[in-house]
Chain A
Amino acid sequence: MSYVNVTGLARRFGGTTVFENVGFSLDKGEFVTLLGPSGCGKSTLLRCLAGLSRPDAGRIVVAGDDITDSVPQRRGIGMVFQNYALFPTMTVAANIGFGLRMQRLPADDIERKLATVIDLVELRGKESHYPHQLSGGQRQRVALARALVVEPRILLLDEPLSALDARIRANLREQIRDIQRRLDLTTLFVTHDQEEAMILSDRIFVMDKGKIVQADAAETVYTQPATEFVARFMGSCNLLDAAACTRLFGHGIDGHLAIRPESIELLAAAEAGADDLPATIRQHQLLGNVIRYQVESRGTVLLVDRLNRGRDDLLPRGSEVGLRIRREDMREVG
């Protein structure tokens, strides 16, 4: 039995259904990312778990207790909000200690726990600052510490990094992952950034229009997308329809064929065998360590990524090449 079990969850606002019949389970200590475009219902789902929004149907069970109808105060769920939601009239220490004071713990217990968590998020020396005196990254760490210090059973994070700039974001996500591992904390992390999701997660739940369309390990979601949506959403992908498939491979297909640009091998025309596709380079784009070619083969344009090994290695426009695609890198999606 998993640590968290969610079954048949639904939430409607007036006539519009945000999601319906959502079910999943989380193992103890697992870090799961809920990934999806903005507006697909991620926050609403998180708020239903936290008890801030009342689901219209479904059950939520954590460690054997059904918490579907509990008040937020009793759920043992910690949450980090996108805009931090720090209390502006309280210092860093008062913000972090708020939950402990609500539990009416003795003062020395509070002190001890505060000290531990402040070290954990590396905010030593900032205890008596007010939120408006902190940088975005520091505020986010206060919010994290405030959620952690009450030792929640589950930690929910709603796009905690999206308001920060790129460098701090990269640092902070390492820190979050590190702390989560050390505390063995069951975590559900919401993001719309697929890169963030892949770097952090044990598993990724990809959400599309209120449905979890795939729930798998990061590699699986990337290499074996379950649907066209997942394939498109997780980085760039060649999606071939039935007609293009017939032209290229001589047989049709139901739905689409997904091929990642980096899984196609570019060969010099001379090296190409009978199974390889003949093609012409149309254009290229420099993406840094990778060069992305647009290659035309039998009337279909494909994207092909290749490591950037310097000027001499660049294939000029109009070059004739061969494309080698292994069967296991092609994936039929719905």
Chain B
Amino acid sequence: MLNALTPAAAAAAGRPRRPFRHWRSALLLVPFCVLLALFCLAPLGWVVLHSVQGDDGPGFGHFREILASPFYRLAFINSLYISLWSSGCGLLIALIGAASLRRVPGRLRNAVVAFTNMTSNLAGVPLAFAFVIVIGTNGALTLLLRQWGWIDDFHLYSKGGLCLIYTYFQIPLGVLLLYPAFDALDDDWQQASALLGARLWQYWWHVALPVIAPAIFGTFILLFANAMGAYASAYALTTGNFNLITVRIASLVSGDIFLEPDLAAALSVLLTLLLVLVCTVNQMLLKRSYRAR
């Protein structure tokens, strides 16, 4: 942020303020703004406006309806449950992986990062199908585990199954987001702390974690937001039969029956507000944490 600001501020200070001097250059921004307005701002505006559009004039009827309905409340709870679990597990695995990734030789590391990058593309519908093959009712792993007697049956099409599939697509994202943060750790810190009597875990707890905590937290927020907004995998896996907030929204605008776009708008606003709230808290925590160098 600071970097982006400094040249801008310097240039602004150095030039006389004549807003229309560069009007021809400004024309080049027009297509950009039009596209952004048409396909991002306008729909968002529509959603916000119509969320407070009742059958008889403006009001918060839809919000009241949503909060009163156990069905919609369950959709939120399911989404939150799956998002929190999958972000937490994904983050933990990514954290352990990224920490070790920094300690293997450069060539291996580059290869693994490239591979992780590729698997981050395996999401949505193709991922759902891949999971059906591995751990579906007749999936290879399911059969294997059943043969060994470890499981009776596994329901991929349930909350647990969705948590698993969400966790899978969170891992590569988490690794890619976290791995650069580990570069901030100086090897001398570990050695200095060892000479001061700290065991390895004490080094991690007292020295390393505080340094990468903002990155960990920021990654968690991104993963969480990603999971809350995800739709394709769950929809493909359960054909829209699992009650998630995104599935509810989509079915209210594109289902076969009961189209209620205004209600969908209200649900969308609630979802977006939730995400905005989470991101704001993240920003506030980041501001409060120390600023290294």
Q: Would A and B touch once assembled, by the CB under 8 A criterion?
A: yes
User: Which one of B107-115, B144-152, B198-206 is at the interface?
Assistant: B198-206
Whether A229 sits at the interface, judged by CB under 8 Å, is no
- Chain B residues whose CB sits within 8 angstroms of the CB of A146 once the complex forms: 192, 196
Bin the interface of chain A by size.
20 to 34
Q: A102 contacts B290, CB within 8 Å?
A: no
Interface membership of chain B positions 189-201, coded 1 if the CB is closer than 8 angstroms to chain A and 0 otherwise: 1011111111100
Q: A85 contacts B192, CB within 8 Å?
A: yes
Closest residue of chain B to A79, judged by CB? B195
Q: B292 contacts A89, CB within 8 Å?
A: yes
Whether A50 sits at the interface, judged by CB under 8 Å, is yes
In A37-53, which residues have CB < 8 Å from any B CB? 47, 50-52
User: Which one of A7-15, A57-65, A70-78 is at the interface?
Assistant: A70-78
Cβ of B43 to closest chain A Cβ, rounded Å: 42
Q: Which of B188, B198, B207 contacts A73 (CB 8 A)?
A: B198
Whether A266 sits at the interface, judged by CB under 8 Å, is no
Cβ of B264 to closest chain A Cβ, rounded Å: 45
Query: Assuming the A-B contacts A83-B188, A85-B188, are A103 and B197 also in contact, with contact meaning beta carbons closer than 8 angstroms in the complex?
Result: yes
Q: A102 contacts B198, CB within 8 Å?
A: yes
Q: A78 contacts B193, CB within 8 Å?
A: no
Q: B197 contacts A99, CB within 8 Å?
A: yes
Cα of A71 to Cα of B203 in the assembled complex, Å? 15
Q: A73 contacts B290, CB within 8 Å?
A: no
Q: B291 contacts A99, CB within 8 Å?
A: no
Q: B211 contacts A88, CB within 8 Å?
A: yes
Query: Assuming the A-B contacts A77-B195, A102-B197, A146-B196, are A132 and B293 also in contact, with contact meaning beta carbons closer than 8 angstroms in the complex?
Result: yes
- Chain B residues whose CB sits within 8 angstroms of the CB of A77 once the complex forms: 195
Q: B292 contacts A71, CB within 8 Å?
A: no
Q: B210 contacts A89, CB within 8 Å?
A: yes
In B117-164, which residues have CB < 8 Å from any A CB? none
Closest residue of chain B to A99, judged by CB? B196
Q: Which of A52, A90, A103 contacts B194 (CB 8 A)?
A: A52
- Chain B residues whose CB sits within 8 angstroms of the CB of A3 once the complex forms: none
- Chain B residues whose CB sits within 8 angstroms of the CB of A147 once the complex forms: 195-196
Query: Assuming the A-B contacts A88-B211, A89-B210, A89-B211, are A52 and B198 also in contact, with contact meaning beta carbons closer than 8 angstroms in the complex?
Result: no
Interface contacts beyond A52-B194, A81-B191, A83-B186: sample of 18 additional A-B pairs, CB < 8 Å, sorted by A: A50-B195, A51-B194, A51-B195, A52-B191, A73-B194, A73-B198, A78-B195, A85-B186, A85-B188, A85-B189, A87-B193, A88-B211, A89-B207, A90-B210, A98-B196, A102-B198, A102-B202, A130-B290
A contact residues vs B (CB 8 Å cutoff):
47, 50-52, 71-73, 75, 77-79, 81, 83, 85, 87-90, 98-99, 102-103, 130, 132, 146-147, 150
